Amino acid sequence: MTSMENIKPDVGGMSALSSTLVGDKSASKMSSHSAVSEKKSSSEAANRVPSPTDKDKDNPAADTRNMRRIIAEDPEWSLAIVPTLVELCIKHLVVNFEHNSKVLHDLEPKHKVMLLEKISTDIPLKVTALLVDDEGYWKRCCKARWQICDVSAYGRSWKRMYFERHLQRIIEQFVPETTDSTELTETLPLCSGFVRKLDIRQLLPPVREAPKMGAEDDISEADASDTMEGPEIDHFDFGAVLPSLPYIEELSIVYGVHDAGMNFEWNLFQFTARDCLLLAKCVAACKTLRVFRLNRSKVDDDKVRVLISHLLDHPSITMLDLSHNIIGDRGARAIGKFLNNHSQLTELNIYDNNIRVAGAQAIAHALTKNTLLTKLDMRLNRLGDEGGQAICRALLKNTTLSELNLGSNELSEPTAAMLSQVVVQNTALRSVELSCNRLGPDGGKQLQEGMEENDTITYLDLRLTEVGQESEYCINQILHQNRERARAKRLRISIPSKGSPSPSQSVGA
């Protein structure tokens, strides 16, 4: 070690010469070190090795070029902390990825992965949208942006999730006439390939006089009166978005403001006729759409009629959700027409509306002819006994509907009697919900009698119907049997080739 001290360490030229002179221990270290830093020089060094050793004996310091150059032994030095060239390169690429993104295609797969693991999630979408397909990157992006990320709702694709939520955010934050639409127009082409579903939870109305979300509580009243009198305020126009999304399948819209808090104004929740017309047009033009939801938007009869008149004979819509609106009988009639073989609907949700007897009759009439609809949810309407009976009569003829929800519809005994007939005859029904209707003990008994002849219904909700415990218990027993039978059938279908019936089927009374 002493002999090494008088030789000055040359940090810059970590030539391989030094490795020959260092002790055994450090030699290996050095050689590896040099190999890492300068791979090319190692081969040259191997050639040069013998000559300097001979000369060194004569005069070590005579020739500066051939002078021994030795690095002082660094006890803290470790190979692990030295980044490889690849790492360095990737680090550099990561830093400059925003400006030079094309390099991604030229990298080997494992390097690509390394690169994608490191690049920032803040890189503009313009760069990454079409370039990066790696799910890991998009997962990071999503995680960085949102706390709760349920990727299962997005077809297990992080990228899709990112783009859909990104686009949702843009649309939800969009204030007509004030927000600059450049962001939207820039993002749209990038998103177009990935967006399948749009779940718009709020749509902001255009700002009048003062900023919409401002703290001016005192103006709000005047504002409200103004807007009521003045021309109607239109919301975001989906005509600009939907045509450029060729793969969109689900669309959920709420014309209203989320989290209005103390800034509540009535006009924040206004779904204008023009909005409705525009929406109806662009939805009708979008032929890929399968699911369409329009909730909590104060959709009244006229708007429903406009919507339905545009959606008639739409080739792909299979689910329509108009829950939490104020659809009345006329709107229900329009929906009935829509059901009447003018659509591909299999699921209809008109939960929490204002449909009464006439509307129920219209829908019931449609049900007698419809052969596609399997789910119908009319909970929280006001069908009354007459409407309920109409629907039950329709079910005597219908053979496709399997789920029916008539909860909280002011039904009573006559409907129960009718339903007991249905239960006996109809074999398509699987699930019926009748909760919160005052059926009474007699109705319960009738239902019980009906159910004793049925073996297909697996779910019948009779809570808060005052049917009496006995009949409820009996019905529950029958339901349980039916469920077991359905399960056995399912099992048999899934294992049809087994000769001997599996013991699991044998679950008797």
Partner 1 sequence: MSASAEDEEIGPSIDSADPEERIAARRLRITKRLEQLRRAQLGEDDAANKDVKEELSISRKQMEESRHRLLRLVEDGYELVTNIRDATDAREGEWRTDEDEIKRQRKDRLDAEAKSGSEKFDEITKKWESALQKEIPQDLQEMLTQQKSACDAMIDEKNKLITDFQLELKSKDDQYVKDLKRQAEDIDLIIERMDEQVKELTRAYREELGEIETAFVAERSELLEANMNRWKAGVQSRLDKELDYLSTREKRVDDYEDQLRHLRVQDAEEYNMVKIKLETDVQILQQQLQQMKATYQLNQEKLEYNFQVLRKRDEENTITKSQQKRKITRLQDVLTNMRIKLAKQEKQYKEENQQLTDDYKRITEQFKEIQHKSMHFMATDQKKFHEIWLMNEEECKELVKKLLEEERVIYEQQLGLPWTAPDLAFTENVGPITNTRFKKSAISAHQVAQEAFSVTLAPHSDRSFHDEGGSDRPINSTIFTKYSPKLVKQILELLGDEAGFLIESKLNKLLAPLERDERCLMRLDAIFTALSVDTEDDIYLLAGYFINHGLQKPSAARPSSVQESTQNEPQTDRSEKTEKSERDDKQLAPEDRDTDREVDKVTGSREDETDAESTKVAPHGDKWSMFDLIHPNEVYKALRQFVEDHREPPKTNTKHTQFSIAMLDDRDNTEDATYWATYPAVLSDNTEKVWDALVEGLEKYNELVTSRSTLITETDALRQQNAELRMLLHQYVNSRVNQELEIPPTRVLQLELNPPH
User: What residue ranges bind partner 1 (CB under 8 A)?
Assistant: 371, 379-380, 382, 396-397, 399, 407-410, 424-425, 427, 435-436, 453, 461, 463-464, 485, 488-489, 501, 503-508
Q: Which of 328, 239, 250 lies closest to 282, judged by CA?
A: 239
**Cβ–Cβ < 8 Å for 170, 186:** no
**Cβ–Cβ < 8 Å for 252, 200:** yes
Residue pointed to by tokens 């919507």: 307
Nearer to partner 1, 199 or 461 (CB): 461
Residue type, position 487, single letter: R
Cα(304)–Cα(321) distance, integer angstroms? 12
Q: Residue 293 belongs to what H/E stretch?
A: strand 291-294
Instruction: List the structure tokens of 404.
Output: 């029916």
Instruction: List the structure tokens of 28.
Output: 């290996």
Nearer to partner 1, 209 or 455 (CB): 455
**Cβ–Cβ < 8 Å for 385, 356:** no
Nearer to partner 1, 202 or 381 (CB): 381
Nearer to partner 1, 164 or 433 (CB): 433
Nearer to partner 1, 407 or 444 (CB): 407
Instruction: List the structure tokens of 473.
Output: 């218990």
Instruction: List the structure tokens of 239.
Output: 């005509």
Cα(469)–Cα(339) distance, integer angstroms? 38
Nearer to partner 1, 316 or 368 (CB): 368
Least distance CB 362 / partner 1 (angstroms): 21
Least distance CB 323 / partner 1 (angstroms): 13
Least distance CB 410 / partner 1 (angstroms): 7
Q: Which of 429, 432, 369 lies closest to 397, judged by CA?
A: 369
Least distance CB 317 / partner 1 (angstroms): 21
CA 504 to chain centre: 38
Nearer to partner 1, 173 or 425 (CB): 425
Cα(231)–Cα(498) distance, integer angstroms? 71
**Cβ–Cβ < 8 Å for 482, 455:** yes
Length of the chain: 509
Cα(300)–Cα(271) distance, integer angstroms? 9
Nearer to partner 1, 50 or 508 (CB): 508
